[in-house]
């Protein structure tokens, strides 16, 4: 097998395993996940590092007790960069539900694809995280994979890749106009000044760092007439609520789109938003809630976490319909204080006006959203 074939096989293996099933320890049996991750790391063209991991994989409960302040922090950044030529940044995780490929439920998300100087910014930021004190080679923490585990991973990847669902998905993707334009080199691009905002990885260690993405968003977006916020989880707490209310008090129209209780995938987080609705509404903030986009029937595994139906997952801010933030930052204390986050601030009226814009006063909402005019029951 030549080098090109090896790279192609590695890309195929990574893409297939990443899309089905989701590689998240919280959603898989820990032993099986660990074995699969170690087998993936054993591929000659794939290297895996774990950011701020459990150092004792099978004794996590004790590490929670002994080192909770560190364990409670996580890397929430999302970026995908190829050959230092093109990068994608946004709120999307790697999992079927984020690519409309899941059997039940889809996360509505938003990304920005960029070329030019912005790519190097993202690439340098990736290197900063890769080499940080919180980044550990998987081979140091995971048991050495057996030949049987590696063979099983390869077989599973081939089976998934050749399965009818994957074939139909790739065909549907290939027929999309955007993909066709991209493959022909004719995808229209919006040339604009773009700034990467990203947390210092030292934040995961609890160290004091320089300006956070949230601080940079407030400073660089600087709304004068209108602020639009889209976030799946809106838990403003005192600091965030004061920012929204102070902004509205200056005559700036503040509008927020978030998940309704029926659409959220985390009902407990929605409760943290619901208790702030009255104060925000009384302060002039306009609230819009996304309605569930599919059948109200919930699967048995939805449980207390929320609905299994389609849900908003995009994170974006627009200011004066001239500047836009697209990234991983949720409007909640975890993103501000604990997680590491990243995103682009893009100075582009054309792009800002293609993002969700609230309807004018006294007009009807889009069919998949409703405006919160008064305090609703939780």
Buried b (16+ CB within 10 A) or exposed e, 317-348: bbbbbbbbbbbbbbbbbbbbebbbbbbbbbeb
Angle between helices 3-19 and 30-41 (to 10 degrees): 160
- Domain assignment present for 66: no
pLDDT value, residue 105 = 77
| pLDDT of 184 above 50 | yes
pLDDT value, residue 192 = 96
Site of tokens 């099983």: 152
Of 211 and 239, which is predicted with more confidence? 239
Check which CATH number belongs to the domain holding 219 and give it.
3.30.870.10
| pLDDT of 25 above 60 | no
Q: What confidence tens digit (pLDDT) does each residue in 307-344 have?
A: 446 789 999 999 999 999 999 999 998 999 999 999 99
Q: At 10, is the pLDDT very low, low, confident or very high (cuts 50, 70, 90)?
A: very low
Q: Parallel, antiparallel, or unpaired: how do β-strands 286-290 and 316-319 relate?
A: unpaired
Q: At 293, is the pLDDT very low, low, confident or very high (cuts 50, 70, 90)?
A: low
Residue among 83, 103, 208, 301 flagged as catalytic: 83
pLDDT value, residue 23 = 42
| pLDDT of 150 above 70 | yes
| pLDDT of 130 above 60 | yes
**CA gap 43, 154 in Å, rounded:** 10
Q: Residues 18-45: what's their mean pLDDT?
A: 70
Of 306 and 279, which is predicted with more confidence? 279
| pLDDT of 174 above 90 | yes
pLDDT value, residue 212 = 84
Specify whether 225 is catalytic. no
- Domain assignment present for 285: yes
- Domain assignment present for 361: yes
Q: At 75, is the pLDDT very low, low, confident or very high (cuts 50, 70, 90)?
A: very high
DSSP H helix total and E strand total for the chain? 15, 15
pLDDT value, residue 90 = 96
Among 26-35, 265-274, 278-287, the least confident range: 26-35
Count of domains in the chain?
Answer: 1
Mean residue pLDDT of the chain comes to: 83
- Domain assignment present for 341: yes
Specify whether 76 is catalytic. yes
pLDDT value, residue 314 = 94
| pLDDT of 299 above 60 | no
Angle between helices 147-162 and 30-41 (to 10 degrees): 90
pLDDT value, residue 368 = 60
pLDDT value, residue 267 = 81
**CA gap 204, 199 in Å, rounded:** 9
Q: Residues 102-123: what's their mean pLDDT?
A: 91
| pLDDT of 364 above 80 | no
Residue among 43, 78, 203, 270 flagged as catalytic: 78
pLDDT value, residue 229 = 94
User: Would the pTM of this model clear 0.85, i.e. be above it?
Assistant: no
Q: How far is CA 273 from CA 48, 70, 256, 266, in A?
A: 36, 26, 12, 11
Strands (E), 83-166: 86-90, 107-108, 111-114, 135-137
Of 90 and 58, which is predicted with more confidence? 90
- Domain assignment present for 3: no
Q: At 306, is the pLDDT very low, low, confident or very high (cuts 50, 70, 90)?
A: very low
Backbone angles phi, psi at 146, to 5 degrees: -80, 160
Percent of the chain with pLDDT over 90: 57
Residue among 20, 76, 203, 270 flagged as catalytic: 76
| pLDDT of 356 above 60 | yes
Q: Residues 35-39: what's their mean pLDDT?
A: 92
Q: Which domain holds residue 197?
A: 193-372
Q: CA angle, corner 372, sides to 370 and 376, nearest 5?
A: 115
Residue among 20, 43, 270, 313 flagged as catalytic: 313
């Amino acid at each position: 097998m030549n080098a090109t074939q090896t790279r192609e096989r590695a890309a195929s293996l990574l893409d297939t395993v990443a899309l089905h099933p989701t590689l998240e320890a919280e959603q898989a049996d820990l032993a099986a996940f660990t074995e699969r991750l170690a087998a993936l790391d054993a591929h000659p063209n794939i290297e895996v590092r774990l950011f701020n991991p459990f150092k004792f994989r099978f004794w996590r409960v004790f590490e929670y007790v002994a080192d909770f302040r560190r364990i409670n922090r996580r890397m929430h950044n999302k970026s995908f960069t190829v050959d230092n030529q093109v990068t994608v940044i946004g709120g999307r995780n790697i999992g079927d539900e984020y690519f409309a490929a899941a059997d039940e439920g889809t996360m509505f998300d938003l990304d920005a694809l960029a070329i030019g100087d912005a790519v190097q910014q993202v690439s340098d930021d990736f290197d900063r995280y890769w080499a940080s004190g919180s980044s550990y080679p998987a081979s140091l923490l995971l048991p050495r994979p057996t030949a049987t585990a590696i063979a099983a991973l390869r077989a599973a990847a081939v089976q998934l890749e050749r399965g009818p669902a994957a074939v139909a998905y790739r065909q549907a993707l290939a027929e999309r106009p955007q993909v066709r334009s991209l493959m022909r080199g004719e995808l229209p691009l919006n040339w604009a000044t773009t700034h990467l905002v990203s947390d210092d990885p030292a934040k995961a260690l609890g160290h004091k760092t320089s300006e956070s993405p949230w601080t940079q968003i407030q400073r660089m977006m600087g709304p004068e007439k209108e602020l639009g916020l889209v976030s799946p989880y809106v838990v403003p707490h005192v600091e965030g609520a004061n920012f929204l209310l102070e902004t509205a008090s200056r005559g700036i129209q503040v509008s927020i789109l978030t998940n309704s209780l029926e659409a959220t995938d985390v009902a407990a987080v929605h409760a943290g938003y619901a208790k702030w609705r009255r104060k925000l509404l009384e302060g002039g903030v306009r609230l819009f809630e996304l309605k569930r986009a599919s059948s109200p029937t919930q699967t048995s595994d939805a449980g207390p976490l929320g609905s299994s139906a389609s849900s908003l997952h995009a994170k974006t801010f627009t200011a004066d319909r001239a500047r836009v933030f697209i990234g991983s930052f949720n409007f909640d204390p975890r993103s501000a204080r604990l997680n590491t986050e990243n995103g682009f601030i893009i100075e582009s009226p054309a792009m800002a006006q293609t993002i969700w814009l609230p309807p004018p006063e006294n007009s009807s909402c889009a069919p998949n959203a409703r405006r919160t005019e008064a305090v609703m029951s939780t």
